[in-house]
Amino acid sequence: AILNAANEVAVEAFLNQEIGFRMIDQVIARVMDKLPHGPVTDIDALIEQDKIARSVAQSCLTL
């Protein structure tokens, strides 16, 4: 969930010309480094991980 959410935010930013292509993997790596990740046990946890990852990814776009 974290990887997917970070990727979606980064690719959207690239398509909107907010970041360069090479920045996509940097945003994803920063999000993966900042958030704990592991198995998801239920849908509520998945939704929460996605929400947090998108927020962190969005904040990484301004760095």
| Amino acid (1-letter code) at residue 16 | N
Residue 35, SS3?
coil
Which domains can be identified in the chain, with CATH numbers? 2-60 (1.10.1740.10)
Q: What pLDDT, on the 0 to 100 scale, is given for residue 48?
A: 95
Q: Is residue 62 a contact partner of residue 14, using CB atoms and an 8 Å limit? A: no
Give per-residue pLDDT as tens, 18-28. Answer: 999 999 999 99
Q: What predicted TM-score, i.e. pTM, was given to this entire model?
A: 0.90
